[in-house]
A and B are shown apart, each in its own frame.
Chain A
Amino acid sequence: MQNTQAPSSTSVLEIRNMTQRFGGLVAVSDFSINLGKNQLYGLIGPNGAGKTTVFNLISGFYQPSQGRIFINGRPTAGLKPHKVTALGVARTFQNIRLWNDMSVLDNIRVAQHGALDYGFLQAVLRTRSYRDCEARIEKEARELLTFFELDQYANELPTNLPYGLQRKLEIVRALSEKPKLLLLDEPAAGLNSVDAIELIRLVKWIHENFDISILLIEHHMDVVMELCSQIKVIDFGQTIAEGDPEEIRNNPAVISAYLGDDTI
């Protein structure tokens, strides 16, 4: 029934009753979410709960077995990931996936592939549209790096950066796509507590300074509680709780999912 309604015009991300099966395994079951403008939403759950699968479904890497996804009111069904990105989604990865043989600046530049207004022939002939576009991309990339205080590393390879800065660079690369929705997959994974606090500040700062909605997967409960106004908890693909941090903290289903059931 619900599936036939038009998507709500104010939501940045709307997922209706999405289910994903891999063979006999139900990785995500009946997942629904509605993200408004400038919302910071947390998605948490124990290992293997299906959080990253949700991200892979949103970014078009998998097509859901059932259900529909709308980004800025547009359905993503049948779109390749780069087309989904063009609808206004950008994401980071749980294990950092920067292009390590390319300079930091080039990492940002290549992420503008979808916004290039020239093709192969113009690139080879070095036409005016090519030169203008390259100049604009370079300028914007440098501005963005300066904005995030990464400009001194512009010509470094990402592998030479400290781990925390690589995480930061991946977020900056995602932001360079000018998304309306940013998907952060465990941005604090592998960071020590000092860097993790730094990262929380960064995410908060991005949320305040960019006109953007953020969906955040995180393992650390304290990070999510600190950042998000709304939280959804999934376990074994099922949504087990939803609400503000206070409700989640006291929800018995969440406690048992994270700490185990005491009825043996």
Chain B
Amino acid sequence: MQRYSVQLILIALGGLITYLAYEEAIDLYIISVLMFMGVNIIMSTSLNLVNGNMGEFSCGHAGFMCVGAYVSSVLGVLLFSKNKILAAPLLNPEMAVYFFPFIIIAGGLAAALTGLLVAIPSYRTRGDYLAIITIAANYIIISAIENMNIIGGSRGFMGMKRVVNSMEDVLYLPWMVIWVFVFTIGTVWLLRRYTSSTFGKGVNAICQDEVAAEIMSVNTNKMKTITFMLSSGLAGVAGGLFAYIIGYVNPGSFNILKSTEAMVMVYLGGMGSLSGAVIAAVLFTLLTEGLRFADVLLHYLWFVPDSWHYSQVWKWVIIPLILIILMQFRPEGIMGNRELSDLFPGLKRFYKFK
């Protein structure tokens, strides 16, 4: 029982959400919030691997998300939908239902390769200098895409909804809900297995003392390459899912603000804590959506004129404010560098997550 409790709970949860979405028992808005929660979990856990476990300071995570979003969008649209570039789809649109996960993974692989843009400089620099390189990488990616007119440039790229629709035509299921759920669980599971192995603990050794790690037989360059590529690859997966949820991408939505969101989640959860990153992503999504409610509420109560819209403006007042308060009063984040099972050892009796 203890061995399979997590799997059973996850299957039940996934089944429940899928069923509710299928029956349209819950609002489309709530479903999309749940999906963004999944994307945010992937973003925060993958960034946590670099910023928390490896102790580097990567501030360009959204850049890799952008690569994943564009590669899987363009690939999906070219293969399975009418498009401006090739006119007719390359494959039968009905095939999309089988190929969708591979399209997302392809976006992840492309993002992982882009991760080399940061991994290779990290052999020689770390700390502040590497942070600057990551910001530069973020801008390079965005600017490159803005200048590619064939995929829409700064106007953005769309058509992903048609791919999703053709998946639903084959078999009517809430496909996006299912795949976001599967990829989110897969990400957490992958990271858990990586960081709990002796191999992956080399990443923590690099964080704590890189010189000692190298002398004590850890191939630090190899570990950094694997870790950066894994982290950016997962960000790419998040980007691909994000693009298909919204059905539209433009480079502007992957700028430094998006990277900051991921960083806030990591620091909120606690550096190096996987469960902290998951909890923080859930809270952060609820908070940003809660702001929307506050906006609606304020308008409803006639506190503010109709023409004023707070949520998007105040978001960037409130998020930095959270950071300031966090750094003042709980710099280690919600969980510190501990996991849920360290805080509540009793939980270990009920689950095993490996």
Instruction: Chain B residues near A62: list those with CB within 8 A.
Output: none
A72-109 toward B: CB 8 Å interface, digit per residue (1/0)?
Answer: 00000000111001100011010001111110001001
Instruction: Chain B residues near A137: list those with CB within 8 A.
Output: 198
Instruction: Chain A residues near B211: list those with CB within 8 A.
Output: 61, 97
| Range of interface residues on A (Cβ < 8 Å) | 35 or more
Contact A110 B202 (CB under 8 A): yes
Bound Cα distance from A137 to B197, whole angstroms: 11
Bound Cα distance from A177 to B212, whole angstroms: 13
Contact A124:B218 (CB < 8 A) given known A113-B199, A116-B199: no
Instruction: Chain A residues near B219: list those with CB within 8 A.
Output: 80, 82, 113-114
Contact B216 A85 (CB under 8 A): yes
Contact A134:B215 (CB < 8 A) given known A99-B204, A101-B204, A124-B190: no
Contact A82:B205 (CB < 8 A) given known A109-B198, A124-B194: no
Bound Cα distance from A21 to B339, whole angstroms: 47
Instruction: Chain B residues near A126: list those with CB within 8 A.
Output: 193, 354
Q: In the assembled complex, how far is the CB of residue A48 from the closest CB belonging to chain B, in whole angstroms?
A: 20
- B201 near A: Cβ within 8 Å? yes
Instruction: Chain A residues near B208: list those with CB within 8 A.
Output: 99-102
For the complex, count residues of B whose C-beta is within 8 A of A: 29
Name B224-247 residues within 8 Å CB distance of A. Answer: 226, 230
Contact A81:B201 (CB < 8 A) given known A99-B209, A120-B226: no
Name A110-145 residues within 8 Å CB distance of B. Answer: 110-116, 118-120, 123-124, 126, 130, 133-134, 137
Q: Select one of A81, A100, A123 contacting B197, CB under 8 A.
A: A123
Contact A119:B215 (CB < 8 A) given known A82-B220, A99-B209, A101-B204: no
- A173 near B: Cβ within 8 Å? yes
Contact A61 B215 (CB under 8 A): yes
Bound Cα distance from A120 to B211, whole angstroms: 22
Bound Cα distance from A124 to B199, whole angstroms: 10
- A59 near B: Cβ within 8 Å? yes
Bound Cα distance from A198 to B214, whole angstroms: 29
Bound Cα distance from A225 to B38, whole angstroms: 65
Interface residues of A (CB under 8 A from B): 59, 61, 80-82, 85-86, 90-91, 93, 97-102, 106, 109-116, 118-120, 123-124, 126, 130, 133-134, 137, 173-174, 177
Interface residues of B (CB under 8 A from A): 190, 193-194, 197-202, 204-205, 207-209, 211-221, 226, 230, 337, 354
